[in-house]
Structure 1
C-alpha cells in the first residue's frame, strides 16, 4: 500500500485535494491515479526493465536497413527476416525472440541528448544526465507502493552502478535493492545482510522491537526526517525478507526443462562480453514479478562494441536471446504479461557498417536507436517511428527518454507531471522540467 507520508508529500506537490482523496483510496494496483477530471486507467502493475548497457546496435537487431544501391550505404550487417503475422523485421541474431514478434512493440525512433555513456546511461535511468536523481524504479515504487510487504518494491539484478537503483532525495525506502554486481556469478548473488541464524526468530523480533522503540523516540523529535523514517521501515522490511527472499532466489524448485529454456548457468565470455548468467536473471525476474515486486531491472553489459563488432554482437545476442524468449513465454502462459510491462534497450545505439571498406568498428549514435516494449497495455506486433535511410537519426515519430518515461508512468496509471517530490525548494519529476509527451500511439 502507498505510505501515509507519501500521500501527504504528494498532496503538497501539486495534486490538489480531490486527487489526494483519490490516492488515499487507491490500492497497490493503482487502478486510477491522475487528475480528478481525467483519471488514468492503469494497464500495467509492474515493470521488468532489461537494460543493455553500452548501446545495442539497432540496425543489426530490430531496425533493418538494407545495404543496396550502386554505393552501398551503412546499414544492417546481418540478415533480417519478417516474423509473425505482424511481419516485424528481426535480425538472424535473435531467432528465439523473433518467435515472439507478435508480442513486441518496437520503437525505432528513440533519441537522446548525448553520445557519452555515463551521461546518457544516467538520463535513461533518472531523466537527468548531470546530477544525482532518483531512478525510474524508485519513482515508480514511490508512486505505487508495494504489492508485497515482505519484499522490496524495486530490485536491480546484476547492477553496474548504484546510480541505476538510487532513490537520491526520495525516502530511502524507495531505493532499489541490488542483487549481484556487473560480472558477478549470479548463482552466488544474494541480498546482503538478511540471512542470520545466530538467534531464534522470536528473539530476533524482540531485539528489533527494542531497537525500533529507540528509533521511534528519536523520530518523534524529528518528524520531518524522511531518512530516519526510511531506516526504520528498511529494518522492518529486512526482517520480513528473511523468510521470503531466500526462497525466491533458490531455483531448486524449477524443473530442468525450465532451467534449460532460460539457459541458466550458461555463461559466454567473448571479447567485451561479460560472463554474466543472464538466463538466471530473467528467471529471477519472472519469480520476483510473480511475487509482486513492482520494478525489476535486469542488466547485461558489454554492448559497447567499437571493434570486433560482428563477433561481439553475435555473442551478446546469443546470451540474451533464449532467456528473453523464455521470459516472454512464461509471463504469457502464467497470465502475467497483460499487466507486466517489459522494456528492452540501452543508453543509445550505434551507426551501421559499410560493407565496402571491410571495417568491423562502430561508434555511438544517440540520434536514432531502438527500444522495444511488450505486455502491460502496449500495442503488440507494432513498429513505431523510423530512422533515416542510413539509420543516422530518427526522422519520424521521435521519442526521447523523457517521453518514454512519461509513457511508462502512464501505462502504470501515473501522471508524469503530477508525480512529484519537493526537494531543495522546488518540485522534481522523473520527466524533469521540460515538456514530455505520452506516446499514445504505443498504447493498445
Structure 2
C-alpha cells in the first residue's frame, strides 16, 4: 500500500508527474473491482435480473386482474369495468389493458397477495425493504449485494423515476449496493440523468490520474480502519462513477432507437388527469430494457397516482392507458431478444383497493392490504397462470396467500439466492430481507 507521505513526497519531486502516474497505475491494478456472487449450487437460478414495475398508490385489483362480477348488491358493486378471458390460458383481464392482454399467456398472476398494513408509507416501505417501520436495505440493494453486477461499468441497481430514497437506499449494506436514482417522481424523464458523473474540466486520462491519486489516499486511510464498510463503499462508488462516464450516457440516449420503437413504447406521451402524475412511463420501460441488456441486476420502474379515493373510473382509466402499451412493448422486446427467459418482471403496488364505496357520490375507493394482485412474467415462472384468490367481494385473500415476505423469498430463490442465507451483520445481529418471521418460497409459481 502506498503511504500518503510517499505520495506527497513523490508528487513534490521534479519527476513527480511520471512517478505519480506509475504509482497510481500500480495501485489501481491491485484494487478489487466488483464483488463475488453469493449464489451457491444449492439453488438453480432461473433468472439473472429483475425489472420491478412499481405502481405506487394501490392499483385496484378488481378492475385490472381480479374479476368480480357485479351482483346487484349495493354493498358489493364488483368490477366496474368490463373483463374478458384472454389468450389460450383464459386469464381474466380488464378491458382497460388491451395491449397487455395480448401477453396474457406470459403472465403469472398472484391474486392472493396480502400485507400488514393499509397505510401507504408503511406498506410501501415493507414492499421494498421487508420492514414497515424501520429503515432497512431495499430489495434491489440485497439483490445487488448477493449477485454483484454483470457490467463493471454500471451499477447493479437502478431506480427510474425514483420515489423516496428510503426505498432504494442500502442503509447498513455497503454504499456500493445502493440504488442509483435516475429522475425523481414526476420529473420529465427526457431530462433525467445520472448526476455527478460527467465533467469536461479535464481530459479523461487526467481525470483518471486525479482519481487514482485520491483513491490511493483513501485506501491508505482504509488501512487504518479495516472493516469500515462505509469507506469501502465510497471507494467503490468513486470507481464506479468514473467507469459509468463512458457507458451510462449512451444508455440514456434514445436517439438511435427507431421511430417505430419509440411509438410502440409511447415515448414522450404523458397523461395528467386527476391524481395521475405526468410521467413518461414509456421512456422508463425502454430504458429498463436497455439497462437489462447492459447487465444491470435490478431495475425499478415507477409510476405513481394509483390512490383513487375520488374519480375512480376516470383516474384508473388514465393510469392504465399510461402503462398499458409500454409494458406490452417491454414484454415483446424482451421475448424477441431472448431476455425474457432470464429476466423476471414484477408488477404491483403497496396494496390494492376494496372496490368502489357505494352511494358516496365521489366514485371513490379505499385501501385494501388484505387481498390484492401482483403479476410476474419471465424468469422461470409459469405462464398464463393464476395463483390464489380473494373472497367473493375481493376484500381478502382466502386461497394461495402470498405475503410480501413470501414474494421476496420467491424472487430471491428465482435468482439462485436463499433468503435465509443472504444475511448481513449489523448492530450485533444478522439481518436479511425477509426478516426473522416465517417466509416461504412459493414453488407453485415456478415453471
Q: Please, what TM-score do these two structures have when normalized by structure 2? A: 0.91
Q: Is 1:397 matched up with 2:400?
A: yes
Distance 2:99 2:361 in 1: 29
1:153-189 Cα shifts (integer Å, max 9, x gaps): 0000001100111000000000000000001000000
Deviations 1:304-323 (A, max 9, x none): 11000100000000000000
In structure 2, the residue matched to 1:78 is 81
Distance 2:265 2:362 in 1: 34
Aligned match of 1:56: 59
2:252 matched to which residue of 1?
249
- Partner of residue 90 from structure 1, selected from 93, 118, 122: 93
Match of 2:205 in 1: 202
Distance in 2 between residues matched to 1:183 and 1:161, nearest whole Å: 12
1:33 aligns with 2:40: yes
For residue 95 of structure 1, give the secondary structure of its aligned residue in structure 2.
coil
For structure 2, the residue ranges without an aligned partner over 5 or more in a row are 1-34
Spell out structure 1 runs of 4+ moving beyond 2 A. 69-74, 353-359
* Contact kept in structure 1, 2:311 and 2:362, CA below 8 Å: no
Contact persistence 1:74–1:351 (CA under 8 A): no
Task: Give deviations 1:279-315, integer Å, cap 9, x for gaps.
Answer: 0000000000000000000000000110001000000
CA distance in 1, matches of 2:330, 2:43: 28
Q: 1:71 to 1:226 in 2, by over 3 A?
A: closer
Residue 124 of structure 1: aligned partner: 127
1-side partners of 2:424 and 2:300: how far apart?
A: 23
5 Å-filtered alignment, 1:244-283, equals: 244-283=247-286
Does residue 349 (structure 1) correspond to residue 352 (structure 2)? The answer is: yes
Matches within 5 A, 1:36-435: 39-68=42-71, 73-353=76-356, 359-435=362-438
The secondary structure found in structure 1 opposite 2:149 is coil
What's the counterpart of residue 16 of structure 1?
Answer: none
Rounded Cα–Cα distance in structure 1 between residues aligned with 2:127 and 2:219: 37
Greater Rg by CA: 2
Check 1:274–1:265 CA distance in 2 against 1; reply closer, same or farther (3 A cut): same
CA distance in 2, matches of 1:86, 1:290: 29
Q: Matched residue of 2:331: which SS?
A: helix
Decide which moves more: 280-289 or 350-359.
350-359
How many residues align structurally? 413
What is the match of residue 13 of structure 1? none
**1:353 Cα deviation after fit:** 2.3
1: CA distance, partners of 2:228 / 2:360: 61
Question: How many angstroms does 1:356 deviate by?
Answer: 6.7
Structure 1's 45 and 27: CA in aligned 2 closer, same or farther, altered over 3 A?
farther
Secondary structure of the 1:350 match is coil
Shift of 1:399: 0.3
Q: Residue 75 of structure 1: CA displacement?
A: 1.2
| C-alpha distance in 1 between matches for 2:179 and 2:346 | 17
RMSD: 1.4
| C-alpha separation in 2, matches of 1:192 and 1:156 | 13
For residues 42-91 of structure 1, the C-alpha deviation after alignment (integer angstroms, 9 at most, x for no partner) is: 00000000000000000000000001256672311100011000000000
Q: 2:74 touches 2:358 (CA, 8 Å); kept in 1?
A: no
CA apart distance, 1:354 = 6.1
Q: Aligned partners of 2:167 and 2:236: how far apart in 1?
A: 21
- TM-score normalised according to structure 1 size: 0.91
Q: Tell me how far apart the structure 2 counterparts of residues 352 and 271 of structure 1 sit (CA, whole Å).
A: 19
Secondary structure in 2 matching 1:306 = coil
Q: Note the alpha carbon deviations across 1:71-120, whole angstroms, 9 max, x for none.
A: 67231110001100000000000000000000000000000000000000
Deviates more, 1:264-273 or 1:64-73: 64-73
